[in-house]
Amino acid sequence: MRNFKVKMAYNGANYHGFQRQDNALAIQQVVEEAIESLTGEKITIFGCSRTDTGVHAREFYFNFKIDSTITCRGIIFGLNPKLPDDISILSCEEADDSFHARYDCKGKEYEYILHNSEIKNPFYKDTAYRHWYPIDENKLEKAAQDFVGKHDFKAFCSTACEKENTVRNIHYFHVRREKDLVIFNVSGDGFLYNMVRIMVGTLLFINEGKIAEDAIPKILASKDRTLAGKTVPPQGLYLNKVYYGDQPLKKRI
């Protein structure tokens, strides 16, 4: 069998995350059905991550194995017409038989987009989180540096998280403003359930004075979810970059 490594992008507003579910529509189901329609083979795709309901991906990898003689070009241009407009196949390549999109992943970058305005913008519906309270992005950029490094992030994951090992290494975390958008970029070797959304929510609490500016190291040490901030909504979150092999995990400036 041949093993294909495929890169896609999607707007997750209409889906209950990537992973196939019994009672809701997920990205995995839609893509698998499109591949079966194209090739006549029923397959399972293996994704690089389990994105939540409403979360988007600018770069998402999956792999699948198939007996078909179809080419990479055939997969790209054969699948895209069969997929809805909110899912797009960006690239495809044949990979080693041992390649697995999830287990071979070396790290990820997420981006969270916040629309910082009292006035709603219809073009940000389902693609950004509107937060009216004035944001000091420089204060949050400084506070976000306390997340960088290897820490136990038990206080920054959902209580539904089933991971026994909650230690993760964050490579960088930056906050910047582009007009009325405040953008959070965080890169790490892995992330826990709701981790990015809770980290952003904690920074917003710092911005509003609900949590002290220097509190993040203490919250990390406590391993207590109740001391961290809220879980911000999913529509502002994007899986932005996925790293494999020797790709450098460069610090974003």
Which positions are annotated as active-site residues? 52
**Nearest of 68, 61, 64 to residue 41 by alpha carbon:** 68
User: Position of tokens 């009325």?
Assistant: 180
- Is the CB of residue 204 less than 8 Å from the CB of residue 231? no
Residue 187 CB-density burial (10 A; 0-12 exposed, 13-18 middle, 19+ buried): buried
- Is the CB of residue 202 less than 8 Å from the CB of residue 216? yes
Strand-pairing partners, residue 175, are 184
Distance CA 20, CA 26 (A): 5
Residue 63 has which token pair? 């792999």
Handedness of CA 206, 207, 208, 214 (dihedral sign): positive
What is the C-alpha end-to-end distance of the chain, expressed in Å? Answer: 42
DSSP helix/strand/coil, 225 = helix
